[in-house]
């Protein structure tokens, strides 16, 4: 049974300004720090930790270190909480990173667990949720795609799947990218002729669709194939995806030969095409291995204080793609420490294969294997091979990690040069670390959406993109100036509230969870003098001066030609950049990305409005009841005309729901 523990720290500990670094525990040892941090702050942090240490149990659990604002600095797990937390204030030399963390600690929180395995799983989950500054952070946390062969319909559907596994069926993967999934599904359609359409489309077909005509589907929707024969195709697909590819190919080969002997050449040709599709799936996998049936292979490389983890996915003796991750970690951390923390977070929301191969030995490998085995209900082995074919496989993955990190460092250096040239072009005192670009999109004022894109040394930072639905009641339709003013005002009012900074604070100081600055150094406005003035007024209203954030407006050239842009900056006459200036091309890329993002957000909003259902506005009507009403009455108009008694007869609709629906439509009418 887990329990949360949070204690208040006595004020005299937080107010202690002494510089003495000797804090004795019961063992009588002194604290020694190798640090750049302020000794007084480390002293206070140590006393805070000691205060909590006094009452900790000798039990496994997870601890959190918090700063003065209540933000989590670090999440760690322990086999013995009292021993682990006590190590932060015992006579051991700490790295500068740990010393800084201790110095910033103002409080701690604890969760005791039944086992160390449970503590390890909880630690990984909390790190992903809270993103503590001093932990290794898995920044690219997008879920990996799978192939799903459904089992909740008489004609199983072959689809791409991402997210929670709520639908009944068999899941195969993960695949490294959506492109790899789409390529595999296309080949599987040619090989097994399984449908990919949704159930609603399937049930409303009266004749075969185009996929049947081009031999990508067997047409179960219109009984072009019997349900028994279609179930046989689905069973073959499951066998192939489960690793029995040779047996499946042998059966299709025998069927092709038998069809040829029976002079059924069309059937033989279909079998030939299916064999070709299966060979295509197995032949485009790149590197394959004969000794690894199911494994994920991880290799870590470090260059210039940055880390790259390359992951290869092997299933059924096939390579299902690879992907590079760039976790955030302090350069003082060892490769083994970074890789171990990465593995725990990587498998927090996805099942592990039976074998995990690593380039480096990690601490608590047996504990990690036990935790993953508990999650997947199958035995998971974690191994760092030193010889043989598996070591050759590790070397291959490690070479890919080294090349991926090299490309990233080169791109970063190139991007940094562009930021330097951009700062020089706009007369900034130093090159910007964070650039924000604003644009809006609408049609005659309808479905108005504002958009913000963000760029930095690593290129476009898509996790920081934002959209703004225009909310002001005073905003007139089509008022671009008003939209820009509202967008900037909302953005910077929230920034001032959530990320305040002292007057003498470095503007480019990292404040976000991922180490990326929260405040922009440069704001680009897609528009001329009018939009720029609206942006300037918005910043002034929330107390942000022009000295804090540089504002530049970009007016399109004559005939909207790229290369003829005019730039506006407060207090300066309009100016242009040289036609072939790299900074000009960079600005064009930024502006085009903002335009693309704004247009996409506007189209998505417009699409939602087109398919908006009045039933969505009725309190208490969720997807299930909405579906029940539509299945019973057919259309929304029929529901609107229905009497209260008729509504109560609909399956799954009780008296209260029927009354809510009836009152909603009749009060409006």
Q: What is the mean pLDDT of residues 590-618?
A: 80
Among 451, 415, 419, which residue's Cα sits nearest to residue 435? 419
Q: What is the mean pLDDT of residues 623-634?
A: 78
Residue range 329-338, pLDDT digits in tens: 888 888 999 9
Would you say residue 16 has pLDDT above 70? no
Residue range 435-493, pLDDT digits in tens: 999 998 877 667 788 899 999 988 888 889 999 988 776 777 777 888 888 889 999 99
Residue range 96-112, pLDDT digits in tens: 888 888 888 889 999 99
Q: What is the mean pLDDT of residues 348-374?
A: 89
Half-sphere exposure of 87 (CA within 13 A, CB side): 11
In percent, the amount of the chain with pLDDT more than 70 equals 85
pLDDT of residue 279: 67
pLDDT of residue 18: 37
Q: For the domain with range 295-317+325-406, which CATH number is right: 1.10.720, 3.40.50, 2.60.40, 3.30.420?
A: 3.30.420
Would you say residue 257 has pLDDT above 70? yes
* Angle, alpha carbons 515-521-525 (nearest 5°): 120
At residue 667 the predicted structure's pLDDT band, cuts being 50, 70 and 90, is low
| Stronger pLDDT, 521 or 619, i.e. the higher one | 521
Euclidean distance between CA atoms 426 and 522, whole angstroms: 9
Residue range 300-331, pLDDT digits in tens: 999 888 899 999 988 877 777 888 999 888 88
Mean pLDDT for the chain? 81
Half-sphere exposure of 1 (CA within 13 A, CB side): 1
Q: What is the mean pLDDT of residues 626-647?
A: 81
Euclidean distance between CA atoms 42 and 35, whole angstroms: 9
Please list the residue range(s) of the chain that carry CATH number 1.10.150.20. 614-668
Indicate if the alpha-carbon torsion angle 401, 405, 406, 408 is positive or negative: positive
CA distances from 208 to 187, 216, 270, 318, 414 (A): 20, 11, 18, 34, 53
pLDDT of residue 504: 45
Q: Which of 130-144, 230-244, 355-369, 632-646 has the highest mean pLDDT?
A: 355-369
pLDDT of residue 445: 63
Give me the CATH code for the 3-130 domain, please. Answer: 3.40.1440.10
CATH 1.10.1740.10 at 614-668, yes or no? no
At residue 12 the predicted structure's pLDDT band, cuts being 50, 70 and 90, is very low
3-state helix, strand, coil in the chain (%, to 5): 45, 20, 40
Would you say residue 405 has pLDDT above 60? yes
At residue 17 the predicted structure's pLDDT band, cuts being 50, 70 and 90, is very low
pLDDT of residue 25: 43
| Stronger pLDDT, 405 or 471, i.e. the higher one | 405
Please list the residue range(s) of the chain that carry CATH number 3.30.420.340. 426-608
Task: Please answer whether residues 79 and 60 qualify as being in contact, where contact means their C-beta atoms are separated by less than 8 angstroms.
Answer: yes
pLDDT of residue 466: 92
Among 357, 352, 385, 391, which residue's Cα sits nearest to residue 370? 352
Both tokens assigned to 68: 């003065």
Q: What is the mean pLDDT of residues 242-250?
A: 69
CATH 1.10.10.10 at 426-608, yes or no? no
Residue range 612-627, pLDDT digits in tens: 667 777 777 777 777 7
Q: What is the CA radius of gyration of the chain?
A: 30
At residue 562 the predicted structure's pLDDT band, cuts being 50, 70 and 90, is low
Task: Please answer whether residues 46 and 99 qualify as being in contact, where contact means their C-beta atoms are separated by less than 8 angstroms.
Answer: no
pLDDT of residue 628: 80
């Amino acid at each position: 049974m887990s329990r949360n523990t949070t204690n208040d720290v006595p004020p005299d500990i937080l107010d202690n300004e002494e510089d003495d670094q000797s804090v004795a525990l019961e063992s009588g040892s002194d604290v020694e720090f190798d640090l750049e941090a302020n000794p007084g702050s480390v002293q206070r942090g140590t006393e805070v930790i000691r205060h909590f240490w006094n009452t900790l149990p000798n039990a496994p659990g997870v601890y959190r270190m918090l700063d003065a604002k209540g933000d989590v600095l670090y999440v760690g797990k322990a086999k013995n909480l009292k021993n682990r937390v006590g190590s932060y204030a015992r006579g051991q030399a700490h790295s500068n990173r740990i010393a800084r963390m201790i110095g910033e600690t103002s409080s701690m929180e604890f969760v005791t667990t039944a086992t160390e395995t449970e503590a390890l799983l909880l630690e990984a989950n909390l790190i992903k949720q809270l993103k503590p500054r001093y932990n290794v952070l898995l920044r690219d946390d997008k879920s990996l795609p799978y192939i799903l062969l459904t089992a909740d319909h008489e004609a199983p559907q072959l689809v791409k799947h991402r997210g929670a596994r709520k639908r009944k069926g068999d899941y195969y993967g993960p695949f490294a990218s959506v492109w790899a999934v789409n390529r595999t599904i296309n080949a599987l359609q040619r090989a097994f002729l399984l449908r990919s359409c949704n159930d609603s489309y399937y049930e409303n077909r009266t004749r075969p669709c185009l996929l049947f005509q081009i031999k990508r589907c067997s047409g179960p929707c219109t009984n072009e194939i019997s349900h028994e024969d279609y179930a046989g195709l689905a069973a073959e697909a499951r066998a192939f995806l489960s690793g029995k590819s040779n047996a499946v190919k042998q059966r299709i080969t025998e069927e092709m030969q038998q069809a040829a002997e029976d002079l059924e050449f069309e059937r033989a040709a279909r079998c030939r095409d299916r064999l070709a599709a299966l060979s295509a799936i197995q032949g485009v996998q790149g590197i394959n291995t004969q000794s690894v049936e199911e494994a994920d292979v991880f290799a870590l490389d470090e260059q210039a204080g940055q880390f790259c983890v390359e992951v290869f996915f092997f299933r059924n003796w096939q390579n299902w793609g690879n992907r590079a991750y760039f976790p955030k970690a302090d350069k003082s951390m060892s490769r083994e420490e970074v890789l171990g923390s990465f593995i725990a977070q990587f498998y927090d929301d996805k099942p592990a294969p039976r074998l995990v191969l690593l380039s480096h030995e990690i601490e608590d490998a047996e504990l990690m294997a036990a935790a993953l085995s508990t999650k997947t209900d199958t035995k998971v082995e974690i191994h760092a091979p030193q010889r043989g074919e598996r070591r050759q496989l590790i070397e291959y993955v490690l070479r890919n990690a080294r090349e991926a990190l090299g490309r990233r460092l080169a791109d970063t250096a190139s991007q940094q040069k562009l930021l330097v040239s951009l700062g020089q072009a706009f007369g900034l005192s130093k090159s910007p670390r964070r650039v924000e670009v604003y644009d809006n999109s609408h049609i005659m004022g309808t479905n108005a959406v504002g958009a913000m894109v963000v760029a930095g040394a690593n290129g476009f930072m898509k996790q920081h993109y934002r959209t703004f639905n225009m909310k002001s009641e005073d905003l007139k339709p089509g008022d671009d100036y008003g939209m820009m003013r509202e967008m900037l005002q909302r953005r910077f009012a929230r920034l001032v509230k959530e990320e305040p900074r002292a007057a003498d604070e470095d503007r480019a100081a990292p404040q976000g969870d991922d180490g990326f600055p929260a405040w922009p150094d440069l704001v680009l406005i897609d528009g001329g003098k009018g939009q720029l003035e609206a942006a300037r007024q918005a910043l002034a209203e929330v107390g942000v001066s022009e000295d804090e954030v540089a504002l530049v407006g970009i007016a399109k050239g004559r005939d909207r030609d790229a290369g003829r842009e005019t730039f506006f900056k407060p207090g300066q006459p309009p100016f242009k950049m040289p036609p072939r200036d790299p900074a000009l091309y960079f600005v064009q890329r930024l502006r085009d990305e903002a335009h693309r993002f704004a247009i996409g957000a506007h189209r998505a909003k417009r699409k939602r409005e087109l398919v908006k259902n009045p039933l969505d506005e009725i309190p208490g009507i969720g997807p299930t009841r909405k579906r029940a009403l539509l299945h019973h009455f057919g259309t929304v108009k029929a529901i609107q005309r229905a009497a209260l008694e008729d509504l109560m007869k609909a399956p799954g609709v009780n008296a209260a729901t029927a009354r809510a629906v009836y009152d909603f439509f009749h009060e409006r009418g």
